[in-house]
Chains A and B, each alone.
Chain A
Amino acid sequence: MKPRTLFDKVWDAHVVEQLPDGTCVLYIDRHLVHEVTSPQAFEGLRLAGRKVRRPDATIAVADHNIPTMGRAQGILEEDSRIQVDTLERNVAEFGVPYFPILSPQQGIVHIIGPEQGISLPGTTIVCGDSHTSTHGALGALAFGIGTSEVEHVLATQTLLQKPAKNMLVRVDGALPPGVTAKDIVLAIIGKIGTAGGTGHVIEYAGEAIRSLDMAGRMTVCNMSIEAGARAGMIAPDETTFAYVAGRPYAPKGAAWDQALAWWKSLPSDEGAHYDKTVVLNAADIVPMVTWGTNPEAVVPITGSVPNPADEADEGRRVQLARMVEYMGLSVGQKMTDLKIDVVFVGSCTNGRIEDIRAAAAVAKGRKVAPGVRAMIVPGSGIVRDLAEAEGIDKVLIEAGFEWREPGCSMCLGMNPDKLTPGQRCASTSNRNFEGRQGPGGRTHLVSPAMAAAAAIAGHLVDPRDFARPEFN
């Protein structure tokens, strides 16, 4: 048999039927549903008199526009409340399992899938959200879809798809101290660009990727879409199996053994074909920060604002100049000279317990700089409860951080957590587009350690200067 990649194997196992032109009816194992991209899909089912084919393969949760404070009082914003009420009506009508807002299982859809063992290696996972690529960290084929496709999966448990191309991104060597998964993925996007992965599924490999824990792997796969890739995947290994074992919806007993045998067969075969290969050396990666308004506009924290005039292509030159202007920067300005108004630690990129611990390790015994608003938004109720059990909520609160309820929050400003025009934010989220965190807001994408360090310093700063041996 022809050597196959991880992606090829998962794809092949899910082809229901191949149509003459190569389009496949692809079976979907897990469908995650949230309040923003599902109302029109359920409405479509209702109008056509269709049912949800596999409620037992579907899970719904509200995350995008729910408040992160005082939610026991209900949702004050009317349009948000209507959307969440609509989700609750729809899941009741169609019999879809749902984690209610006040339950500890509630959280960001891409945090709770892996956390509950709903997202598993070798499965196909979709959600009406582009950051579904996160779940690829488990060795799943996971990708975002639009609302029409949400309706399609609800009705048929399949999608009509053509296979993506294979792309290998290898990060060789050991990661230097103080450099995190977020820095790796920002460095990758800086190298290949925001369309570098278009039409491809990226498989991340190499020693630096292998050495990451599951939280770090999820951070890397999460931002695959920022490189334009359809999905990101990492071959499952002992780290993966140890993470999955014992989670509420993971297989148990004989089913576990059966699953494990299949999962162990998934890593790419020797000699498998990749349409594109990109190699980075981990030793070259340093803490990264975006300066502009897309994720490829990224520099090392030791760097400075680039000069658009150095760009040869006119269209790009205009775009970079616009970024400098929108971000309120001057050419050549050092990144570490940029004062920060807001710090946001959270999102599906960096809202896991490991991320909160990293922020707390920097914050312990220190104080948030005067004038800086620093928010911590755990990715799920379970992350929040775990942090509180470990006492790191206290560490963060004492340092002057706000400790909030789980949700997408300021990653996309659909709830009350927004930047005001001109505010500069060090954010652990995934997109720095104009107005993403609120109209006129200026976003710098960073790791949790850099975000916390920036909160303390009051400006962007190299988190390695804040490292303390007792936490390493």
Chain B
Amino acid sequence: MDAFTKLTGIAAPLPLANVDTDKIIPARFLKTIKRTGLGVHLFDTLRYDAEGKERGDFVLNQEPYRKAEILIAHENFGCGSSREHAPWALLDFGIRCVIAPDFADIFHTNTFKNGILPIKLSREICDQLMEDAKLGENARITVDLEAQMVVRPNGEKIPFEIDPFRKHLLLNGLDDIGQTLQHAPAIDRYEARQTPDKAWMPAIAV
């Protein structure tokens, strides 16, 4: 996983609430055994018409947002399915940061595992950033994870909260399996312990 430290880039405004993971990447594109190559299908039904031609009115089909690295959206972003293909598609397109008032839980977790930073900010601030984002090329937004700060094009700094453990993993691009394996002796001890829910549990074998 790539580390996330500081990013200055074009932000695409997506003023929609309840953007579900079926919308981010429809199920028919999940039939892959790879993590890469999904960017072309990101927001497929919003981005393309029935003939597969780009819809000109969709933000990611417009300049300069084809090069967007930040996405600004409304409430409950990423609701629905647990498919990690949603963050994979965002990442493959080039999005490294999503800013919204709140996120669905599983999507929120999945973004961190892929080096994408989800930032929760109030609806009011998201709306201000949305206006900034509409200015396009001339209005780059900076996201500084170390300082936990979003910097608007006018220089205004907006602080954000983030779980310290997740911040640490993201800043250093750490694989969390590696982190957990540092606790392998504790896992061994747990498995050896006769907890009330262990002694009786049958093994699965077919």
Contact = CB atoms under 8 A, between A and B. Distances in A.
Interface of A: 13-14, 16-17, 19, 21, 23, 25, 27, 29-30, 36-37, 39-40, 43, 48, 50, 55-59, 64-65, 77, 79-80, 82-83, 86, 97-99, 105, 118, 120, 122-123, 128-130, 132, 143-149, 151-152, 155-158, 160, 162, 194-195, 198-199, 225, 228, 230, 249-252, 255-256, 258-259, 261-262, 265, 294, 315-316, 319, 412-414, 421, 431, 433-436, 439-440
A29 B197 CA distance: 9
B33 A194 contact: no
B31 A436 contact: no
Contact of A255 (B16, B105, B163, B200): B200
A145 B80 CA distance: 12
B204 A97 contact: yes
B31 A79 contact: yes
Given A50-B177, A319-B18, 15 more contacts: A16-B186, A17-B186, A59-B206, A83-B33, A128-B84, A148-B176, A152-B176, A156-B181, A160-B165, A194-B18, A194-B79, A249-B202, A250-B202, A255-B200, A439-B26
A448 to B, nearest CB: 22
Given A37-B82, A156-B187, A319-B16, A435 B197 contact: no
Given A123-B201, A258-B199, A149 B33 contact: no
A413 B79 contact: no
Nearest to A120: B201
A315 B74 contact: yes
User: Top 7 A-B pairs ranked by shortest CB distance?
Assistant: A148-B113, A146-B84, A39-B33, A56-B203, A146-B110, A255-B200, A144-B82
Contacts, number: 215
A315 B202 contact: no
A120 B200 CA distance: 11
B205 A319 contact: no
Nearest to A322: B16
27 contacts: A23-B165, A37-B30, A37-B84, A40-B84, A64-B30, A82-B33, A97-B205, A123-B201, A128-B84, A130-B80, A146-B82, A146-B87, A146-B109, A149-B109, A149-B113, A155-B177, A158-B180, A160-B176, A194-B18, A195-B18, A195-B75, A251-B201, A252-B202, A258-B196, A265-B196, A413-B28, A434-B23
B121 to A, nearest CB: 16
A57 B195 CA distance: 16
Nearest to B20: A433
B149 to A, nearest CB: 21
Contacts of B26: 435, 439
Contact of B30 (A27, A36, A77): A36
A195 B76 contact: yes
B106 interface: yes
A121 B190 CA distance: 19
Nearest to B188: A16
B124 to A, nearest CB: 13
Contacts of A255: 199-200, 202
A410 to B, nearest CB: 11
B186 to A, nearest CB: 4
B178 to A, nearest CB: 9
B55 to A, nearest CB: 14
B69 interface: no
Interface in B97-152: 102, 104-106, 109-110, 113-114
B31 A65 contact: yes
B83 interface: yes
B180 A249 contact: no
Contacts of A50: 177
B31 A57 contact: no
A262 to B, nearest CB: 4
Nearest to B103: A198
Q: Indicate the member of B27, B84, B181, B186 with the most A CB atoms within 10 Å.
A: B27
Contacts of A55: 204
A228 B76 contact: yes
Contacts of B81: 129-130, 412, 431
Contact of B113 (A27, A65, A77, A146): A146
Contacts of A132: 82
Q: Indicate the member of B30, B109, B177 with the most A CB atoms within 10 Å.
A: B177
A114 to B, nearest CB: 14
Nearest to A50: B177
A189 B187 CA distance: 38
B31 A130 contact: no
Contacts of B15: 315
B154 interface: no
Given A25-B180, A431-B80, A294 B197 contact: no
B34 interface: yes
B164 interface: yes
Contacts of A19: 165
A195 B199 contact: no
B183 interface: yes
Q: Indicate the member of B28, B45, B81 with the most A CB atoms within 10 Å.
A: B81
Contact of B79 (A120, A228, A249): A228
Contacts of B22: 412, 431, 433-436
B35 interface: yes
Q: Indicate the member of B104, B176, B200 with the most A CB atoms within 10 Å.
A: B200
Contacts of B201: 29, 120, 123, 251, 259
B103 to A, nearest CB: 8
Contact of B106 (A144, A157, A413): A144
